[in-house]
Amino acid sequence: MSWWGTTVRTSTWGFAGASVVLLFGIVLLVGGVFLMSLRLLGFIMQDRPVSRLARDLRGWTLAGLVMTLVSGLTMAMGHGVMPDLYESGPFWLEMELLLAALVFHFTLYRWVTGRDDAPPALRGFTAILALFLWFGVGVAGRAIGFF
């Protein structure tokens, strides 16, 4: 185990602190994606251009992503029994969904949310896929403790 993992595992507040940061990061990340998805689907803020809302949410969403990745890695490093984690089906599902969500987020999602003239069907597809991927990452991550 690395010094980072040992520190997290043996400190009184290391794992708990990482958990708090993880939850706060998830709120920022998924909250931003959820609001943007509702706008893409036409449920909220119809008077506000998509690109403007995307610009307003981008910093919060990226901050949430960074917080989630760093604290998630910290928690994994402090897990203690890494072979158990590596053999966990939900862990690998989470990693696969995370990779797909990151690629999607920085390609099609960014392209659709950065313009106001994207076709409605593409907006809807983008919104639903973003919600599916990011919520899937969260559900798979939560499932790690149960399997």
Q: Are 116 and 49 in contact (CB under 8 A)?
A: yes
Which structure tokens are listed for 20?
Answer: 């708090």
> What pLDDT band is residue 139 in, cutting at 50, 70 and 90?
very high
Cα-Cα-Cα-Cα dihedral sign, residues 74, 25, 69, 22: positive
**Helices in 13-143 by DSSP H: which ranges?**
14-40, 50-77, 82-86, 89-104, 110-113, 120-143
Percent residues over pLDDT 90 in the chain: 70
What does the alpha-carbon distance between residue 104 and residue 111 come to, in Å, rounded to a whole number?
10
pLDDT higher than threshold 60 for residue 44? yes
Percent residues over pLDDT 70 in the chain: 93
Which structure tokens are listed for 75?
Answer: 């928690």
**For the chain, which residues make up each domain, given as ranges?**
3-146
Which structure tokens are listed for 22?
Answer: 């993880």
Cβ count near 63 (within 10 Å): 15
